[in-house]
A = this chain, B = another copy of it.
């Protein structure tokens, strides 16, 4: 499925409800952060050995929170005139330089701490 197809569906939903008036970039960033917080909420206090079980129990909720973050993110990129897919590929390319395989393999250090 393409990002563009889904984005078109998101915008049609929004415009049918005349919601663009509420969706300035700040409000979308607020909503993305709040939904990311809901996603995170499912993992609070969970220890490494509990994650797999947690994920199985909470799959419908996790799917829902991921969808919410995605919907808001696709709309924000669209409203800002950003090609999100291209921005992601550009970022990965930049990360190729920041995290060269020879230095970054098996390490979780940040690029400025490698």
Q: Which residues of A contact B (CB under 8 A)?
A: 1-6, 9-10, 13, 16-19, 21-22, 24-27, 29-34, 36-48, 50-51, 54-55, 59, 62-64, 66-71, 73-74, 76-77, 80, 82-92, 95-96, 99, 101, 104-108
Contact = CB atoms under 8 A, between A and B. Distances in A.
Given A2-B2, A22-B45, A33-B37, 14 more contacts: A1-B4, A1-B83, A10-B88, A13-B96, A25-B62, A26-B43, A30-B43, A30-B44, A38-B41, A59-B80, A62-B82, A66-B87, A68-B91, A70-B84
Given A63-B82, A71-B92, A87-B67, A40 B37 contact: yes
Per DSSP, are chain A's interface residues mostly helix, strand or loop, or mixed? helix
